[in-house]
Amino acid sequence: MKLLFSRNPNPRLAVATARYLKADVAFEFASPTAPGQAERYRALNPNLTLPILVGSGWSLWEADAIACRLSRDTHSDFWRTGDDEPEMIRWLSWGKENFARACDMVHFERGTKQRWGLGPIDKALVEEGLRLFHITAVILETELSKREWLVGNSVSYADFRMATFLAFNDVARLPLEDYPSVSRWYRRLEDIEAWRDPFKGLEAPPLPLVNSLSD
């Protein structure tokens, strides 16, 4: 199998998952939206987004689906099954619609738009993202004050997914320090090498630098 990726948030999540699981995959840096590349990738993912997991005669897109497949293939409980599966899916669903969405809103304005020259920072959207961040971080803070990980007694994909955009907090500048239990949880994630440096040893051009932090 081959995992097509870039350094953007969701592809990074997929690479971190694959490396944590020590999955038997090859890694290939890809750019489906680069000039002349669309048709090459459209058959693999009609959305022309990454990540994409490619096998013999098939492809699978979306980071969550790829994490599920790789966890099954490696016989790991990283993607929880059994009695813990509903709990994990609850956090995946809630995170993507709440905490991770808030992080994404701020990161898109302060990070993505500035990296790729997509226009000035929309301060109103940053403020809305920060408002949602604080509302949802309070909920996470309460939960993580009682446990080290979101599901059970060990790290799971729910933790990786919830933290998708925190790996880019050098530019998003979300006030994680306001929430000590969330901060401790994220430091535990950064102790995992596959999360901290998923691209180690891979051919992966760095993201463009963010030059403006004027907001």
pLDDT at 214 over 70: no
Shared domain check, 188 and 90: yes
Q: Are residues 95 and 192 in the same domain?
A: yes
Domain count, the chain: 2
Asked whether residue 209 is assigned to any structural domain, the reply reads no
Average pLDDT over every residue of 179-206: 97
**Is residue 137 included in any domain, yes or no?**
yes
Task: Identify the domain containing residue 104 by its residue range.
Answer: 82-196
Please choose, from the candidates 176, 151, 153, the residue with its C-alpha nearest in 3D space to the C-alpha of residue 161.
151
Does residue 7 fall inside a structural domain? yes
> What pLDDT band is residue 91 in, cutting at 50, 70 and 90?
very high
Beta bridge partners of 52: 4, 61
Confidence label for 60 from pLDDT (cuts 50, 70 and 90): very high
- Residue 1's pLDDT is what? 96
Percent of the chain with pLDDT over 90: 95
Write down the residue that tokens 């990726």 correspond to: 5
Last residue within a domain, chosen from 42, 73, 104: 73
**CATH code, 106:** 1.20.1050.10
Kindly tell me if the per-residue pLDDT of 198 is higher than 80.
yes
Quote the mean pLDDT of the chain: 96
Same domain, 66 and 98: no
**What percentage of the chain carries pLDDT values higher than 70?**
98
In a domain, 184, yes or no: yes
Task: Write down the pTM of the prediction.
Answer: 0.95
Residue 215 lies in a domain: no
- The answer to whether the peptide bond before residue 51 is cis (omega within 30 degrees of 0) is yes
